[in-house]
């Protein structure tokens, strides 16, 4: 039977869009200013674990659709990789979303 290690190693997997929306809903932040490496280290230290890796994934908006956020994420991902966070990204997929307005009408828009 395997023996449980004294210090457990952990790998943190972070979905950037889910983290951003959860932080916005919980704390009202409208800017993704989080530090994935430090967040992962803090969570591991609280449990007495050793952080083996931090991995981050996000979708990137097309520069033609949103040049600001495209540049922001490309730069943020580069900096994360310098801090030994394994990063993965892909282009955002857009789809039509429909919402019902208070007056009963519907509004359609593209959402990433």
pLDDT in tens, 96-112: 888 898 998 998 877 76
Contacts of 46 (CB under 8 A, 6+ apart): none
pLDDT in tens, 29-69: 999 999 999 999 999 999 999 999 999 999 999 999 899 99
Separation of alpha carbons 10 and 55, rounded Å = 11
High-pLDDT (> 70) share of the chain, %: 99
What pLDDT is stored for residue 11 in this prediction?
98
Contacts of 51 (CB under 8 A, 6+ apart): 9, 10, 11, 12, 40, 41, 44
Tokens 């919980």 belong to which residue? 26
- Is the pTM value of this prediction over 0.75? yes
């Amino acid at each position: 039977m395997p023996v449980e290690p004294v210090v457990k190693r952990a790998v943190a997997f972070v979905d950037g869009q889910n983290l951003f929306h959860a932080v916005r809903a919980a704390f009202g932040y409208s800017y993704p200013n989080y530090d994935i490496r430090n967040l992962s280290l803090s969570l591991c230290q609280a449990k007495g674990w050793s952080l083996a890796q931090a991995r981050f994934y996000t979708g990137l908006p097309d520069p033609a659709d949103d040049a600001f956020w495209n540049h922001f994420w490309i730069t943020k991902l580069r900096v994360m990789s310098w801090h030994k966070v394994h990063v993965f990204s892909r282009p955002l997929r857009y789809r039509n979303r429909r919402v019902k307005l208070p007056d009963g009408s519907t509004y359609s828009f593209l959402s990433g």
